Amino acid sequence: MKLKSTTQIALDNLIFTPTKRSRNKSKPIPTASEVKSYDPTYPLIAKRWLRVKARRKHG
């Protein structure tokens, strides 16, 4: 087996490192329908309405 030079080993490892351009490549902007939003107050309001509904007179 032939020994590799230090330069060749360094070049072989550089093949797999990302370039500046690939790291900073701009990502496509998602459309409005693809954006998922989270309403932090919804669980609180939902619990409140469940409590109110449970207290109401049944039948």
d(CA 27, CA 47) in angstroms, rounded, equals 38
Sign of CA dihedral 49, 50, 55, 58: positive
Q: Does the residue 1 lie in any domain? A: no
Residue holding tokens 């490549």? 25
* pLDDT tens sequence across 30-51: 888 888 888 899 999 999 999 9
pLDDT greater at residue 2 or residue 18: 2
- For the question of whether the overall pTM of this predicted structure is more than 0.75, the answer is no
pLDDT greater at residue 27 or residue 1: 27
Q: Does the residue 35 lie in any domain? A: yes
pLDDT greater at residue 43 or residue 13: 43
Number of domains observed in the structure of the chain = 1
When pLDDT is cut at 50, 70 and 90, the band that residue 59 belongs to is low
Give the range of the structural domain holding residue 48, as residue numbers without chain letter.
Answer: 6-58
